[in-house]
Structure 1
């Protein structure tokens, strides 16, 4: 039935405007009329695209709008929670208002119901180590022979067999394809599959240990212009060009470490040190600027929540961004994000760049981050995960909101949902 004047916000009706009951009945028996496109877009823009997918069957205009929204995915958070015997699912998908987080006064918004198809049976004993560009979450542990990939929206599952024994498995940030690196005792293996459809076919390249120039532990990796870029725990840069004629060679770039002389950063975990990612054909390193324990206390922020000596994850005050300058072989400080109105999303195991002009509500020249301030390994509790936005133009954190409540340890990672 077509909307009335009152429903579309037209001028108020009068008695003369009301039709007789017989006239109304004739209208009701008439052919269905689709809503104007601008009204359809307003309605569906208020609904999370993933939750609105089931509404595509309502009418042609709704189907067109939903399809357009799904073609331009908005980053979501996957919160990986401890096993819950009351549910067969592991974790939950959380849509966050990336365009209006500071306009809600810090109030917790009730997220739309998003299906999560990560089953406990598929992930029991495995940790979520990050997300792939195809929208698949990656699950593994240090002794596992397989990397398990699961699409949390569709439930599609794939297992990739990796070599054993190995010292580490690191996801590689990339645009337009899934990639990861397996560091074994006798070799280094690079894995990649092109495209965003999450296909089954993987390409792999093996580099003998003798040719890896003493790489011991890769903390970060990114694929850019056909090359795998890797950083170790000390911040040294290595590169492998998989398009070069065999045998593959590892080059250690003569670039000063970002951690040289920074002893406070050196003792923190790689996840706290920063994030490596690709953006418009360039390799970027995003490093948080952290407050000390005393600064957090003076700000009236986090307080201990148990009787143990809890380890402190300092509060995030801001970020520094560096670009790998291959010509001058150095890390160059970036004050404005390059490219078409770019924004960065950074989290442990998953960091990527998006065009804000193609991402609904996204702020350009900003860094969307995941935070955590307190953690106690003895009681396996933390103060809960947060998400926030740092403006590179204003050089300040615009807002930071809670994702989970204090309690059992959890993890949160950004991912781009896919319905393929």
Structure 2
């Protein structure tokens, strides 16, 4: 009689399978884990995935280039992933993403919120500015309400936002013409202005609640980057500088000063310099947007650090040299974690595998 070999791997307890899948460092590993067998799939439900870590989106090149797929690089697993997009031939992607969603412009006319991992599409009203000329999109989280789409006009220096599926159109902040990078947290927008102050704006009424003075000790004339990011209920501001004011030649020539926004009495606030961000990890893209995560133990990402892309123009080869860098807030050290292909480094995307109806 044939010998029946018991499949011990499929007999692992569900609680153990759940603990294992929570330690997986990458979305691709999570998908492979679920594909092993039915019991492993039950132990790793889509409704409770491990902490999702960001992927780097491919730089698209020409904005009118017809593509049928998107390419992503996972720093955690060191793998490239190719994701098929919809049937339309022309896709323009805005910068910035939240939980796998990106902004897509189809045929230069239709604006939509698109998830390339689930093919979920939410139509949006036409953008308030010409996005292929002077608008920069990003997607921010809005708690249990889902997400919001923000479109910042780089020419007029004001911005607009909409909540997909809720609002009839765009809410435009046009009272001021000096608004630059912004972030969102707890029903309020935090916006840096041209004079380096920070506005705290009520998202519903669009009223300016507070104007926060710029950090008094900073020299903004030599700053290479000024980022706002919401991190675990806190608002952080990171200023990027070259060492000794010299022109940046390599990734090691950067350093960051990080500030936390403290709310005071009488509805006032101030920026306070901090020496650590704890267990958080900050990710900044080339468009001035960022987000904060707390990676799991298997991710290979170092806590209390800032990940950013260093880009240097190589005139001899007429291309860009790109590298993914990590700045340690603890000791001020910059490490180049890996070299990126010229086509990578446009922005970060956090993969989301859960459909809206689940």
Report SS of the residue matched to 2:95. Answer: strand
Higher strand share: 2
Compared CA separation, residues 174 and 34, structure 1 to 2 (3 A): closer
Aligned residue number for residue 180 of structure 1: 149
The Cα RMSD (Å) is 4.2
**Offset of 1:116 from its aligned partner?**
1.4
Decide whether aligned partners of structure 1 residues 206 and 87 sit closer, same or farther in structure 2, where only a CA change above 3 A counts. Answer: closer
| Aligned-pair CA distance for 1:392 | 1.4
Offset of residue 203 of structure 1: 7.2
User: How much has 1:348 moved relative to structure 2?
Assistant: 3.2
Trace 1:19-418 onto structure 2 (pairs within 5 A): 25-28=2-5, 34=10, 36=12, 48-50=26-28, 52-53=30-31, 55-64=33-42, 66-67=44-45, 70-82=49-61, 88-97=67-76, 109=78, 111=79, 114-118=81-85, 121=88, 123-124=90-91, 126-131=92-97, 133-139=98-104, 146-165=110-129, 168-171=135-138, 173-174=140-141, 176=143, 177-182=146-151, 189-192=160-163, 200-202=165-167, 206=171, 209=174, 212=175, 214-216=176-178, 218-243=179-204, 248-251=206-209, 253-256=211-214, 261-265=219-223, 272-291=224-243, 301=250, 317-327=254-264, 329-337=269-277, 341-349=279-287, 350-357=289-296, 360-374=299-313, 381-383=319-321, 385-404=322-341, 406=342, 411-418=345-352
Structure 1 residue 396: Cα displacement:
0.8
Relative to the length of structure 1, the TM-score reads 0.65
> Which runs of 5 or more residues in structure 2 are unaligned?
none
Q: How many residues align?
A: 340
* Structure 1 residues 231 and 351, CA gap change in structure 2 (3 angstroms): same
Structure whose alpha-carbon radius of gyration is higher: 1
Distance in 2 of aligned mates of 1:411 and 1:120: 25
Deviation by residue 1:173-202 (Cα, 9 ceiling, x = unmatched): 446442233468798633235xxxxxx445
Unaligned runs of 5+ in 1: 1-21, 99-108, 194-199, 266-271, 302-313
2:25–2:53 contact (8 Å) kept in structure 1: no
Distance in 2 between residues matched to 1:225 and 1:58, nearest whole Å: 40
TM-score with structure 2 length normalisation?
A: 0.75
Following TM superposition, by how much is the alpha carbon of 1:417 offset from its aligned partner in structure 2, in angstroms? 0.2
Q: 1:93, CA displacement in angstroms?
A: 1.0
From the superposition, tell whether residues 164 and 84 of structure 1 become closer, same or farther in structure 2 (CA, over 3 Å): closer
